[in-house]
Amino acid sequence: MAQLKQQFQQKVETLQTITDQFDTIEQEYESLLGQNKKSTQIAIFEGERGLENIYLNIKNHLTETGLISIKCFSSATLESLSGADERLKTLHTDFLDFLEQKKITVESYLGKGIALMEQFMIASHLDDIRDLPLGNNSTQIWIVGEILYFMIFKNEPYIITIKSQELANLMHFIGEQLGEK
């Protein structure tokens, strides 16, 4: 009977070890699920409504997170200034007015020139980007926290959003390096 009791005790200890390991495995599994939720997310928007929604998304994200600084990389050639729709200009102006009202600073990195980007300029005032081109193949990249907004203005705007902390970190680093030169 003592031997049976000893075997039973060993089985209880083995079961307890498995139970303890299960708790650890369960925690690791939940951690992996949490990491998966933070994976890169990509979305595509187009047209005037898409741009309007993007500006609204950025405003909401800034309000929710309390960010006080964002970055903008943009082409700003004279050629790309033509062809912008007045409604797009209004959306852009309203967005910049929101940034100004909320006292959000914008570090801007502008490729300037006549037909091609021939010069590089760093701007830190909203007035410097109020007249950014919104047509004729101009491009803008906005970095808002961990979200990047790639805007391409052709006949209508196309916007690709990428939510990726790693890519945002890289773009912030590039901006900082450009600012030091």
- Verdict on whether the full-model pTM lies above 0.85: no
What's the pLDDT score for residue 81? 59
Q: Tell me, what DSSP letter sits at residue 164?
A: -
Verify that 31 and 49 share a domain, yes or no.
Answer: no
Of 89, 98, 161, nearest to 126 (Cα)?
98
Query: In Å, how far from its chain's centre is CA 163?
Result: 5
Verify that 45 and 14 share a domain, yes or no.
Answer: no
Verify that 84 and 162 share a domain, yes or no.
Answer: yes
What's the pLDDT score for residue 26? 63
The residues that bridge with 41 in the sheet, in sequence order, are 163
Kindly state the greatest CA–CA separation across the chain: 96
CATH number of domain containing 122: 3.30.870
Verify that 32 and 49 share a domain, yes or no.
Answer: no
**CB-based contacts of 83: which residues, under 8 Å, 6+ apart?**
135, 136
Asked whether the beta carbons of 128 and 109 are under 8 A apart, the reply is no
| Phi, psi (degrees; rounded to nearest 5) at 116 | -120, 160
Verify that 92 and 58 share a domain, yes or no.
Answer: yes
What's the pLDDT score for residue 164? 93
Verify that 81 and 170 share a domain, yes or no.
Answer: yes
Identity of the amino acid at 76: A
Verify that 31 and 85 share a domain, yes or no.
Answer: no
Verify that 15 and 61 share a domain, yes or no.
Answer: no
Verify that 45 and 94 share a domain, yes or no.
Answer: yes
Domain, as residue range, for 137: 41-180
Verify that 116 and 132 share a domain, yes or no.
Answer: yes
The torsion of the CA quartet 73, 79, 81, 83, rounded to 10 degrees, works out to: -120
What is the DSSP secondary-structure string of 22-73?
A: HHHHHHHHHHHHHHHHTS-EEEEEEHHHHHHHHHHHHHHHHHHH---EEEEE
Verify that 49 and 24 share a domain, yes or no.
Answer: no
What's the pLDDT score for residue 176? 83
Asked whether the beta carbons of 124 and 105 are under 8 A apart, the reply is yes
Low-confidence ranges of the chain (pLDDT < 50): none
The torsion of the CA quartet 96, 98, 103, 108, rounded to 10 degrees, works out to: -20
Give me 126's structure tokens: 């909203």
Tally of domains in the chain: 2
Verify that 118 and 57 share a domain, yes or no.
Answer: yes
